[in-house]
Structure 1
Amino acid sequence: MDAIRNTVLEAWMNEHGYSSNSLADAVNGAVADLTGRIGGLDGSSVRAWKAGRVTWPKSATRKALEAVTGLPPVALGFVPRGRPSSISPAPPQQKEPDMKRRTLVGGIAAAAAAAAAPGTASPRRIGMSDVNRLNKRFAEIIASDHRHGGQPRIEEQAAALAEEALNLQNAGSATQRVRNSLYASGAAFRSSAMWAAIDGRRYDVAKAHMREAQALAEMSGDQAIKFRIWSHAGTMYRHMGRPADAIAANDVARNLHITRRDPLFASLGLARQGATLGLTGDTAAVRHSLGCARDALERAEPDLDRPVWMTAVLTGAELETLALSAYLRLGDFTQAEAHAHRSLTLLRPQMRRDRAINTVRLARAQLGQGAADTATRTAMKVPADVATRHPRVTRMLQEFGTALRAAPSGKSAVQTWNQHTTTWWNAA
């Protein structure tokens, strides 16, 4: 007998915005919550459910699926073993009955979802459209961060949007999938507030955002946002000059199962670990970590659906940026300069903050090789508004000026630099 397609499950997935891969990930996470071991499903497993090749998943999978959807398996079109399906396929030539069957199936899915909602009244239904609206605002926050960096205004906007995501939890009924997504959105906004505070060197505030973001991420079960928060924590401790804490935080991020499922996350974790190891002076460890990061990047599939903040990782710009930071800390100025040029080539034009930071790092690498005049011309390429309004860039330029004045061959360059920075601040 031919397999009967589970159109009830398909209808539910379409209504709630799930792909085969994303549903598999959600159920794997729920299996881990239930059993302590991550599930082994992938997109092909869910496609087998939809095609009717698997009509009754294993017990742990059924429980996890119910936790994700809020519906018992039979309400999703699954049929217990030994029980005949109540949905019979229409003969190919009978197009009108087939259309009626699809309409009926869609009605079953909608009725089942309604039955699962708490209460008998008709409260507002919070759905994926609300989550998608928040995700659009998150993309705007990321774009602002790339352009302007760690401004208090961006931090405040991100924190306010995190509160908006949490307020939606109490605004009406929702599936567990939607509630998890709202917690993930709240965690994402808090992580952006955290990053803005780190970038602005407001570390005590960043720690407060971090604690809030970590709690929300745990409630969401979202591996990608957990990775982002712990990875940001590693960067924060690296900027604070605390390599042991930075390595520990990076290890938490690198041990999440998303790094085993997607090499791009593994690449970012390894690259950030390499940048941190630059603080320790261990050249061999830095090279090993960055080499593994490059290998993982080459294995990463380019077409997977990933968070918007991973864009620079996929292009290789983030790897080059972190390698630049590592080699600059090691005092290997030739290698640092090579990575600086590559990073500036790969960075997208709108990433003005990162471009300014890497331009200053390039100038430091050139100065470290005794090329004071070249280094000064490079540092002067930083736009005035970024140089004077971004705390991290301002500090880096001040440090460059100090190093330039201490350089034995930098006397003429110092005069040029002083005149240029005076013009910057007069225009600010």
Structure 2
Amino acid sequence: MAKRAHPVFTHHDELITSLLSVLVVSPYGEHMARTRNRALAAWMSEHEVTAQGLSDLVNDALRELTGRDGKTSERTVFRWLSGENQWPQAAQRAALQSVTGCPATDLGFVPRCRAPASPAQQEDPVHRRSFITATTGATAAATPLVAARPFAVGTTDVMRLRAGLDDLTVLDASKGGHEALERAALKGASSAMEKQHKAASQRIRKRLFSVAAEYTTAAAWSAVDARQLERAREHLNRALYMARLARDSIAELDVWNVFAMLARQQQRHTEAVDSGRAAQATAVARRDPLFASLAHARTAIGHANCEERQAALLSLGHAKEALNKAVKGAPRPSWIAFYGRAELLAISAIVHDRLGDPVHAEAASHQALAAIPRQFRRNRALATVQLALTQVHQRDVEQACETAGDVFALMEGDSIPGRMRSLLGDFQRDLIATAPKASATRDWIDRYRSEWSRKQ
């Protein structure tokens, strides 16, 4: 596993340039060669607000300020961005400040050239209120002026939250799941949800739900790896809810991926198959073969544990085909970085071993270990245990014990995660069943007991 940050805008200057470049000619056919309003474009890019979205927000603010429907259109906003209209009407300026929290001049607007106004004529909040009331008649006079909350959360806040996800990804890849990582992930989710109480565009709100879902899935994964399975299920239910609120298919696939692994740990193998199929049905799995490959691979493990040989091999084949079609280097969230040829080989080893083909499984394990990047220390340790299992299933007891012992060196300095302990327990059980009186078995049991105690 490795946790995630969606690819979001990282270079605001590039985004502003992109936004402004489409304004050379407006959608209404008007040539726009005037000085472009980069400050307004920057605010819109930071808060991910479209021209239509800004016009709707301004009209809502005008309704609150004046009691009457505003007439700001998408075309109006394009005129502001292009510099065709450098100084909106007073009511629109008041609405813009209500929406953004910035005075018109900070948004790149330039007052019309005119003789300096006397102090009595200079516009201030009280004068502006009088102006608005005068222009709206009795309805506005009877309506209290309530300004909309200016947006307080933008892309920068989302990017900062996602950076924390990347830190958790690195920690998980090295140490595996543990309570401190789970607490940190839940704290990140809480921070994202707290920002929902602040004013933000609808797109930013969706991104906050997405980040909260990712953090909560990270917490769930940490709980799965630490074998805190019921707690993991609670986290996943919450993460799925938030991913769907965000309409984020990547976050949803991430949830189903961990659900499949949780079901496997709980011996709910039919549920693991169903979770894998749910992952296959997500939009991102249909769009990106890499995600489709992961979903098929999880389904293959579920079928193998259900002793459905043909279905397992078919799913494994689909996973390989999809992986071959995946575009390398495409922008993807960081949590998927663990998945590729090496991880699929490790999963293939699990599937073939479950299907009673330890020779094929051992070959896949060796290939996986040769390919798993060094930074994925926990994954290398798990693949090592799986290799030991394939060896003991071939009755190569001494070699199996030697291989399994490498796990302790790989995890030196850190506690062994619960899921890895459980897999080591499976190895010891199969070792005793295969060669209960062998000296290698007795030596292994003594070492396992010692390492278990030392790494608590």
Q: Give the TM-score of the pair, scaled to structure 2.
A: 0.70
How far apart in 1 are the matches of 2:265 and 2:228? 11
CA displacement at 1:15 relative to structure 2: 4.8
Question: Which of residues 292, 299, 313 in structure 2 aligns to 1:266?
Answer: 292
For the pair 1:153 / 2:180, whether they are aligned, the reply is yes
Q: 1:13 to 1:322 in 2, by over 3 A?
A: closer
How far apart in 1 are the matches of 2:303 and 2:16? 39
Give 1 or 2 for the bigger CA radius of gyration: 2
> Which ranges of structure 1 fall in alignment gaps of 5 or more residues?
1-11, 21-45, 57-66, 88-100
For the pair 1:55 / 2:81, whether they are aligned, the reply is no
For the pair 1:321 / 2:301, whether they are aligned, the reply is no
How far apart in 2 are the matches of 1:153 and 1:105? 54
Greater alpha carbon shift after TM alignment, 383-392 vs 348-357: 383-392
Q: 1:425 to 1:280 in 2, by over 3 A?
A: closer
How far apart in 2 are the matches of 1:208 and 1:107? 53
How far apart in 2 are the matches of 1:355 and 1:302? 22
1:297-316 correspondence runs (5 A): 297-313=323-339, 315-316=340-341
How far apart in 2 are the matches of 1:114 and 1:13? 26
> Are the counterparts in 2 of residues 16 and 127 from structure 1 also a CA contact under 8 Å?
no
Deviations along 1:149-197, one digit per CA (max 9) or x if unpaired, are 2211111111111011101122x32222221111111000000111111
Q: In structure 2, what is the equivalent of residue 200 of structure 1?
A: 226
Deviations along 1:70-122, one digit per CA (max 9) or x if unpaired, are 6417969x987xx9x969xxxxxxxxxxxxx97789999xx898665597477
Question: Which of residues 247, 252, 262 in structure 2 aligns to 1:226?
Answer: 252
Question: Which of residues 315, 330, 340 in structure 2 aligns to 1:289?
Answer: 315
1:118-267 correspondence runs (5 A): 120=147, 123=150, 125-170=152-197, 172-267=198-293
Structure 1 residue identity aligned to 2:269: P
CA displacement at 1:363 relative to structure 2: 0.1
For the pair 1:277 / 2:303, whether they are aligned, the reply is yes
Q: In structure 1, what is the equivalent of residue 405 of structure 2?
A: 380
Query: RCO higher in 1 or 2 (8 Å CA, sep ≥ 6)?
Result: 2
Q: In structure 2, what is the equivalent of residue 69 of structure 1?
A: 49
Deviations along 1:366-423, one digit per CA (max 9) or x if unpaired, are 1111111111110010126568532121222222122212224860211331343244
Q: 1:160 to 1:364 in 2, by over 3 A?
A: same
How far apart in 1 are the matches of 2:303 and 2:162? 34
How far apart in 2 are the matches of 1:179 and 1:309? 22
Q: 1:116 to 1:261 in 2, by over 3 A?
A: farther
Greater alpha carbon shift after TM alignment, 380-389 vs 134-143: 380-389
Q: In structure 2, what is the equivalent of residue 341 of structure 1?
A: 366
CA displacement at 1:18 relative to structure 2: 6.3
Structure 2 residue identity aligned to 1:219: L
> Which ranges of structure 2 fall in alignment gaps of 5 or more residues?
1-8, 29-46, 57-72, 102-145
How far apart in 2 are the matches of 1:267 and 1:186? 25
CA displacement at 1:277 relative to structure 2: 0.8
How far apart in 2 are the matches of 1:288 and 1:51? 51
1:9-48 correspondence runs (5 A): 15=12
Q: 1:426 to 1:239 in 2, by over 3 A?
A: closer
How far apart in 1 are the matches of 2:10 and 2:401? 57
How far apart in 2 are the matches of 1:260 and 1:54? 34
Q: Which runs of 4+ in 1 moved over 4 A?
A: 12-20, 51-54, 73-76, 101-108, 111-119, 121-124, 384-388
Deviations along 1:188-229, one digit per CA (max 9) or x if unpaired, are 000011111112222211111112111111111111001111
> Are the counterparts in 2 of residues 201 and 391 from structure 1 also a CA contact under 8 Å?
yes
CA displacement at 1:17 relative to structure 2: 8.5
Q: Give the TM-score of the pair, scaled to structure 1.
A: 0.74
CA-atom RMSD in angstroms:
3.8
Q: In structure 2, what is the equivalent of residue 25 of structure 1?
A: none
How far apart in 2 are the matches of 1:420 and 1:106? 77
For the pair 1:407 / 2:387, whether they are aligned, the reply is no
> Are the counterparts in 1 of residues 273 and 298 from structure 2 also a CA contact under 8 Å?
no
> Are the counterparts in 2 of residues 271 and 293 from structure 1 also a CA contact under 8 Å?
yes
How far apart in 1 are the matches of 2:96 and 2:256? 35
